[in-house]
Amino acid sequence: MNHLDNPNEITRESLVSILDIMHRLAAPEAMPELLREIIEVGKVAIVAETGVLWLLEKSSGQLVKVVPASDKPQRLGMGEGWAGKCAKTAVISNIHECREDDLFLEYPAHIPGGETRSLLNVPIVGLDDSILGVMQWLGAAVGQFDEHDEWVGPALAAQAAVAIQHSYMTDELLANAILSQEVAVARDIQMSTLPDSMPVVPGYDLHGHFQPTDHTGGDLYDLVVLNDQLFMLLGDATGHGFGPALSATQMQAMLRVSFRHGANLDQAYMHVNNQLAEDLPDDRFITAFMGFLNPETHRVNYHSGGQGPILHFRAAGGVCDWYKPTHFPVGIMEIDDKQESANLQLEPGDILALISDGVYEYADLDAKEFGEEGVAEIIRASHQLSMAALGKKLIEAVMDFGGDAPQEDDITMVLIRRLPE
């Protein structure tokens, strides 16, 4: 259907319609409504019975029909039907007789109340040359679309691309703003749980360190004297953001309340685990070491729910013993019976090191991890330093090992040394 002698010219009506769409792109209009308007303009400018617009869904890699709208929109894979082929090749295609086209017959597109004889497929291409979707124009006559339509189609597709990318950018900016706010709140929660200063325990040198990454996780530690014993806690809730930080804080608060109401370590571990198993989402749990050090007997009783390895440096032999977690992570499932705590004995000069996986799993650019041996080497060489100085050396060693690799997880550690006699 010839509209003009020069197919690269455009009718006044089409130009006015396209300019109106361009003007509206600057307004804060919802993308679905604007895309419907573009299709309506296209039906007039191209002279088509109807139009269809498909968006490429990033998560699935499928095309989803968004115009006309439907409660259960049709989906096509890349390469399926003419829409899928257009998205895959990013090439305009003009089917003059759909009855004779095998691909159309396999994946037909219908004109409401009529038969589709012509089909014009136009890719929607973003500024970065990425495929955003496909526009299709359906005609009831054979050979309905000509060179003029093949020129107008991309002009309309360009407007659709602007609308789509503008919407995506707005959504991304909003999501980033929400995430930034959530991270800030989560960071405040984390920092509020940390001890203001190290408790004084005669005969012991204590140090706690927390070095957060850019995206907040659920790490925390606690060192506090309760009933003449030192309570030690190192926890890491799965995930990043507000939820994990709140979960870890919830566990810390529940433990303190349990102890202040007379529960012993075994009772508190069971009750807190069971309550968190009921409260936490199915995809969240907390790895946690919790224990008491008796400074008179130098005995540590502890539970380690998925938190490990636990390092015990024995000064007499200059060796590091590693202990595995005693139980599954806290909050995964309920415990029917009270679990007996494990224990270890600290001799003069011994160090108990509770260190998060942000240290052990710190990787360089070749994906090689710092690992247990990296930690053990530093502790063996520097065990006579103060725990604050040892912690600083350990952090420096991890950072030097990582080089230009970014810190991917929070780094948290608790170092406890029994002073030599």
pLDDT of 90-129, one tens digit each?
999 999 999 999 999 999 999 999 999 999 999 999 878 8
Helices (H), 212-332: 242-260, 265-279
Instruction: Tell me which of 49-58, 182-191, 257-266 is least confident.
Output: 182-191
Element holding 372 (H helix, E strand): helix 371-382
Q: What's the CA gap between 289 and 147, in Å, rounded?
A: 72
Q: What is the mean pLDDT of residues 239-262?
A: 81
Q: Which amino acid is at 127?
A: L
Q: Which comes out higher in pLDDT, residue 372 or 244?
A: 372
Beta carbons of 243 and 285 less than 8 angstroms apart: no
207 strand-pairing partners:
415
- Per-residue model confidence (pLDDT) at position 326: 92
Question: Tens of pLDDT along 324-367?
Answer: 999 999 999 998 877 889 999 999 999 999 999 999 999 999 99
- Per-residue model confidence (pLDDT) at position 25: 46
Virtual CA dihedral for 125, 128, 129, 130, nearest 10 degrees? -70
Beta carbons of 21 and 31 less than 8 angstroms apart: no
165, exposed or middle or buried, with CB in 10 Å at 0-12, 13-18, 19+? middle
Tokens of 223: 């060192």
287 strand-pairing partners:
236
DSSP string, 288-312: EEEEEEETTTTEEEEEEES--PEEE
- Per-residue model confidence (pLDDT) at position 311: 97
Q: Which comes out higher in pLDDT, residue 407 or 184?
A: 407
Q: Which residue, 95, 151, 167, 153, is CA-closest to 124?
A: 153
Q: Quote the radius of gyration of the chain (alpha carbons, Å).
A: 32
For residue 22, pLDDT over 90 is answered with no
179 Cβ neighbours under 8 A, 6+ residues apart: 241
Q: What is the mean pLDDT of residues 133-150?
A: 94
Work out whether strand 131-139 and strand 50-57 pair parallel, antiparallel, or are unpaired: antiparallel
Q: What is the mean pLDDT of residues 37-65?
A: 91
Q: Which domains does the chain have, with CATH numbers?
A: 12-170 (3.30.450.40), 181-418 (3.60.40.10)
End-to-end CA separation in angstroms for the chain: 100
For residue 11, pLDDT over 90 is answered with no
- Per-residue model confidence (pLDDT) at position 30: 60
Element holding 357 (H helix, E strand): helix 357-360
Q: Which comes out higher in pLDDT, residue 217 or 122?
A: 122
**From its phi and psi, is residue 21 left (phi > 0), alpha (psi between -120 and 50) or beta?**
alpha
Q: Which comes out higher in pLDDT, residue 25 or 342?
A: 342
Q: What's the CA gap between 2 and 13, in Å, rounded?
A: 16
Q: What is the mean pLDDT of residues 273-292?
A: 90
Residue tagged 């019976």 (tokens): 337
Residues in the chain: 421
Q: What's the CA gap between 257 and 35, in Å, rounded?
A: 57
pTM over cut 0.75: no
